[in-house]
Amino acid sequence: MVSRVIPVDPFDLVIFGGTGDLARRKILPGLFRRFCAGQMPPEARIIGAARSDIDVAAFRAMVAEATQEFGGGFTCETGTLEAFLEQIDYVAIDARGDQGWAELQEKMSGKGRVEAYYFSVSPALFGDLAERLQKWGMADQDARIVVEKPFGRDLETAQTLNATLATYFDEHQIYRIDHYLGKETVQNLMAVRFGNMLFEPLWNAQYVDHIQITVAETVGVGGRGEYYDKSGAMRDMVQNHLMQLLCLIAMEPPARFDPDAVRDEKLKVIRALDPVLPHHIIRGQYQAEPMNEANAPGYRTAVGDARSRTESFIALKTHISNWRWAGTPFYLRTGKRMSARSSEITVVFKETPHSIFAEDAGRHRNVLSIRLQPNEGITLGVTIKEPGPGGMRLVDVPLDMTFADALGEEGADQVDAYERLIMDVIRGNQTLFMRGDEVEAAWAWTDPIIEGWEARNDVPKPYDSGSDGPTDSTELMRRDGREWRKVSL
Ligand code: NAP
């Protein structure tokens, strides 16, 4: 299959927080990959901006190191690392002071190029950056800002942040990143749903028994303990990533694949979500047990608070009150230090209304499973006759479409989510970015759940590292006569 790389227009991309962890691990290596793929025009400039008083040479050395360490080993077809570094610049700047702004303004003064500003800094600085971009004349109508997560920590803070950004930028200029939306398989979810006649007629409460979404991690909180303990799995994962996946799986077909048509439909899903009943949600906290790292600490040790009540695991059941989904449960689960790193959406269809086969043929259901990571692909479980003599015995087999197998090298060498999203910013395409009202609606659904825990002094249930969460999570499904898909590689 021939790879189609369409170069984007010349651009200036300023990365505030250019020396930070996210820039080094994701943004800069991703840009290098786009350069190597021939998508980044030679006139494009990437300008790192942070307080560190380093010169361009030192920043380029840091970029070179980051691309080597986090670039993920690939062949650079259209140039060299040196040529990429030539396109890199740096300004020492303070988001909260005047240092560096005149220099940045000077560098950005050439017109006729796309101007994008990536806020890869603490959310506490988002407002300062927006204000100073306007003050220094860089917030014109064509400029775009990219805002990292977390976008608020509840409805009120999200509304305040939206209002602050709206003082300086229009909604069409604001790109709120949820990198899950940039994943190849997530977009494939839309292709599968809306590009095939096969699924859509069955995609409703009449034929679907339930839907499961699991995002399981094997890592613990690592060095992010302080941040994570103030956040927890609900704010860090469910309110954004799992919510976005839920929207894509449940939304009505948009009239067009364009930003507002897609986001309007996602918003309707969030607004139709039922409140979650207290006994339909399980919180967990992982306990010490060596797994990937020798003597890895339990959650409370990792965050340095022996009484922490923050959850590192969530399993919940919710419903969408609309005609398509009334009565179909959606089960969401995410956690740290689970048995495998795996993100999967599973649509479990109902049994046939009547079985013509003998009773011992068993119960069979079609299961459509969309794996986001690892081994991105789609599997459809179908029921067939078990080969051989001995009567009509039925067996479930997977029709497996692992992208790497089906699409060859191109399927395997997928574009990282951050690369795709940054190129979308340059192209001015907001389809895969969250709109302000979407984020607020997601918080409006999440807030009462968190407030309920706080009011009840809820303590998360302990679970073993390397397990799939507290036993209550299994029970949540078992009560309904269902079970979670096994978390597997
Ligand atoms: P980080 O490693 O702490 O980096 C912060 C960056 O901001 C540094 O480059 C720092 O450089 C710069 N900075 C701090 N204060 C500044 C100021 N007053 N003016 C200008 N620059 C300033 O943080 P990070 O992990 O990269 O995270 C950045 C953002 O991405 C955060 O919003 C985070 O929530 C989000 N995010 C990160 C990840 C991740 O994996 N790291 C994942 C998802 C979202 P100086 O100290 O030199 O100024």
Task: Give, using CA atoms, the residue closest to atom 39 of ligand 1.
Answer: 22
Q: How far apart are CA 249 and CA 190, in angstroms?
A: 8
Whole-number pLDDT of residue 410: 56
Residue 2, pLDDT above cutoff 60: no
Q: How far apart are CA 23 and CA 21, in angstroms?
A: 6
Mean pLDDT of the chain: 92
pLDDT in tens, 79-116: 889 999 999 999 999 999 999 999 999 999 876 899 99
Residue 291, pLDDT above cutoff 60: no
Task: Give, using CA atoms, the residue closest to atom 48 of ligand 1.
Answer: 51
The pLDDT > 90 percentage for the chain reads 80
- The DSSP element (H or E) to which 389 belongs, if any, is none
**Boundaries of every domain in the chain:** 11-148, 181-478
- Give, to the nearest 10 degrees, the angle between helix 417-427 and helix 28-36: 70
Residue 169, pLDDT above cutoff 80: yes
Pocket probe for ligand 1: among 51, 104, 119, 121, the residue whose CB has the most ligand atoms within 8 Å is 121
Both ends of the chain: CA-CA distance in Å? Answer: 27
Band (pLDDT 50/70/90 cuts) for residue 324 is very high
| Secondary structure tally for the chain: helices H, strands E | 18, 15
- The annotation places the binding site for NADP(+) at 17-24, 51, 149
Q: How far apart are CA 343 and CA 213, in angstroms?
A: 8
Q: How far is the CA of 19 from the centre of ligand 1 (A)?
A: 8
203 to each of 184, 200, 269, 368, 447, how far by Cα in Å?
21, 5, 14, 11, 29
Beta strand 45-50 with 11-16 is parallel
Q: How far is the CA of 404 from the centre of ligand 1 (A)?
A: 34
Whole-number pLDDT of residue 171: 98
Whole-number pLDDT of residue 187: 87
Ligand 1, pocket residues at CB < 6 Å: 16-23, 50-52, 93-96, 120-123, 125, 148-150
Task: Give, using CA atoms, the residue closest to atom 37 of ligand 1.
Answer: 22
221 to each of 179, 218, 328, 335, how far by Cα in Å?
19, 10, 33, 10
Closest CA to 335 of 185, 462, 214: 214
CATH architecture entry for 11-148:
3-Layer(aba) Sandwich (3.40)
Closest CA to 63 of 114, 31, 28: 28
Opening angle at CA 118, ends 115 and 120, nearest 5: 165
Residue 400, pLDDT above cutoff 90: no
pLDDT in tens, 230-240: 999 999 999 99
Closest CA to 317 of 305, 332, 303, 302: 332
Pocket probe for ligand 1: among 14, 15, 16, 21, the residue whose CB has the most ligand atoms within 8 Å is 21
Residue 278, pLDDT above cutoff 60: yes
Band (pLDDT 50/70/90 cuts) for residue 418 is very high
Whole-number pLDDT of residue 118: 98
- Give, to the nearest 10 degrees, the angle between helix 436-456 and helix 243-250: 120
Whole-number pLDDT of residue 6: 84
447 to each of 10, 156, 336, 368, 473, how far by Cα in Å?
42, 10, 22, 31, 21
Whole-number pLDDT of residue 409: 57
pLDDT in tens, 145-158: 999 999 999 999 99
Task: Give, using CA atoms, the residue closest to atom 32 of ligand 1.
Answer: 122
Band (pLDDT 50/70/90 cuts) for residue 226 is very high
pLDDT in tens, 373-391: 888 888 999 999 888 887 8
Closest CA to 334 of 162, 487, 451: 487
Q: How far is the CA of 16 from the centre of ligand 1 (A)?
A: 8
Band (pLDDT 50/70/90 cuts) for residue 415 is confident
Strand order in the sheet with 45-50: 88-92, 45-50, 11-16, 114-119, 144-147, 174-176
Whole-number pLDDT of residue 293: 55
pLDDT in tens, 421-474: 999 999 999 999 999 999 999 999 999 999 999 999 999 999 999 999 999 999
Q: Give pTM, 2 decimals.
A: 0.94
The residues with which 174 forms a beta bridge, in sequence order, are 145
Q: How far is the CA of 146 from the centre of ligand 1 (A)?
A: 13
Whole-number pLDDT of residue 472: 97
Estimate to the nearest angstrom the gap between the alpha carbon of 337 and the chain centroid.
18
290 to each of 228, 303, 307, 311, 462, how far by Cα in Å?
21, 17, 21, 20, 15
- Segment among 57-61, 84-88, 306-310, 416-420 with least mean pLDDT: 416-420
Whole-number pLDDT of residue 413: 55
How many of the other CB atoms lie within 10 Å of CB of 246?
A: 23
Task: Give, using CA atoms, the residue closest to atom 25 of ligand 1.
Answer: 21
Q: How far is the CA of 139 from the centre of ligand 1 (A)?
A: 21
CATH architecture entry for 181-478:
2-Layer Sandwich (3.30)
Question: Stretch 331-360: mean pLDDT, rounded?
Answer: 92
Q: Give the active site residues.
A: 241
Task: Give, using CA atoms, the residue closest to atom 22 of ligand 1.
Answer: 50
Closest CA to 157 of 447, 433, 455: 447
pLDDT in tens, 193-221: 999 999 999 999 999 999 999 999 999 99
DSSP conformation class of 423: H
- The annotation places the binding site at 17-24, 51, 149, 179, 183, 217, 236, 336
Whole-number pLDDT of residue 223: 86
Task: Give, using CA atoms, the residue closest to atom 10 of ligand 1.
Answer: 17
Three-class DSSP category at 266: helix
Residue 411, pLDDT above cutoff 70: no
Q: How far is the CA of 21 from the centre of ligand 1 (A)?
A: 7
Q: How far is the CA of 119 from the centre of ligand 1 (A)?
A: 8
